[in-house]
Amino acid sequence: MPKLTSAIDPHSPAFKALDAHNRALRDELHEKVAKAARGGSDASRDRHVSRGKLLPRDRVERLLDPGSPFLEIGQLAANGMYGDAKDPDGAPGAGMICGIGRVSGREVMIVANDPTVKGGAYFPMTVKKHLRAQAIAEQNRLPCVYLVDSGGANLPHQAEVFPDRDHFGRIFSNQARMSAKAIPQIACVMGSCTAGGAYVPAMSDESVIVRNQGTIFLAGPPLVKAATGEVISAEELGGASSTMSPRTTSTRWRSSAPSSTA
């Protein structure tokens, strides 16, 4: 067998320059991934935790089997997009965590809104990331678990969210199609699910809602008051107590976020 000898000189200036360049790119990638994984600003994260809620990555971690791997997809979706002078970070990770993990010994696709990023609202790239996760799930017959905490479409970008074939509504079409193929669609309502965010649990086979935290409605109490004059709390309008009847959305309720992912 002939001996293959490398002609690369690791001590040459050219090699060292390329090595330094690639190491810098690697470090930059790791920095961007870590920044995206953190999600929203410190103030947004603190506000979220002060409401007694788990951060989105903590939700995913508690859902997964202990010590099992999580293959995340689309970590850098929306990188460098949607930022402005007031908020240069834009939408880290497109405001969503997607990936394949193991739950009760079975591989599943997890789609978790990040409410620390613009209230978990859907930007155009959030829609694409969600659709990509669903496409992988359908192709591989992976049950979908949605950890829902979203204000629906990001209104300043709604013209880009709805206009084409692969738009926001395709998410719910995919849910219906996968359900018909006996690919389970399961939603855990862990926060406010408004407008488009309310459709995900409505289109799921099973929905679990966290009492006094999860809500499901097309419009919240302020819009109800503006339209009808009625003063009503979010829990009364779309919380666990009002969504647990046979004709409504939720099929189960839990008293806390950790128990909803157990």
pLDDT in tens, 70-113: 999 999 999 989 988 778 889 999 999 999 999 999 999 999 99
Q: What confidence score (pLDDT) does residue 131 get?
A: 97
- The band of 251, judged by pLDDT with boundaries at 50, 70 and 90, is low
Cα dihedral sign, 97-99-102-106: positive
Top CATH class, 40-260: alpha beta
Q: What's the helix, strand, coil split of the chain in %, to 5?
A: 45, 20, 40
Q: Is 88 helix (H, G, I), strand (E, B) or coil?
A: coil
Higher pLDDT, 164 or 196: 196
Q: What confidence score (pLDDT) does residue 84 get?
A: 80
User: Cβ neighbours of residue 23 under 8 Å, at least 6 residues apart?
Assistant: none
pLDDT, tens digit, 9 for 90 and up, residues 125-137 = 999 999 999 999 9
Among the residue ranges 119-123, 136-140, 157-161, 239-243, the one predicted with the least confidence is: 239-243
Q: What confidence score (pLDDT) does residue 254 get?
A: 53
Q: Give the orientation angle of helix 170-180 with respect to helix 124-140, to 10 degrees.
A: 10
pLDDT, tens digit, 9 for 90 and up, residues 181-200 = 999 999 999 998 988 889 99
Among the residue ranges 18-22, 55-59, 201-205, 217-221, the one predicted with the least confidence is: 217-221
DSSP codes of every residue in 15-58:
HHHHHHHHHHHHHHHHHHHHHHHH-S-HHHHHHHHHTTPPPHHH
Q: What is the mean pLDDT of the chain?
A: 90
pTM of the model: 0.87
Q: Report d(CA 26, CA 110) in Å as an integer.
A: 27
| Share above pLDDT 90 across residues of the chain, in percent, rounded to a whole number | 66
Q: What confidence score (pLDDT) does residue 262 get?
A: 53
Q: Report d(CA 171, CA 212) in Å as an integer.
A: 27
Q: What confidence score (pLDDT) does residue 2 get?
A: 86
CB-side exposure of 237: number of CA atoms within 13 Å?
20
pLDDT, tens digit, 9 for 90 and up, residues 229-250 = 999 988 888 887 766 655 555 5
Q: What confidence score (pLDDT) does residue 5 get?
A: 87
- What phi and psi, each to the nearest 5 degrees, are found at residue 111? -125, 110
Taking the domains of the chain in order of start, what are their residue ranges? 40-260
Q: What confidence score (pLDDT) does residue 235 get?
A: 86
Q: What confidence score (pLDDT) does residue 218 get?
A: 87
For 18, 51, 107, the CA distances from 261, given in Å and listed in that order, are 46, 18, 15
Q: What confidence score (pLDDT) does residue 4 get?
A: 87
Amino acid at 225: K
14: which strand partners? none
Q: What confidence score (pLDDT) does residue 246 get?
A: 55
Residue pair 219/225 in contact by the 8 Å Cβ criterion = no
Q: Report d(CA 23, CA 46) in Å as an integer.
A: 34
- What phi and psi, each to the nearest 5 degrees, are found at residue 219? -140, 140
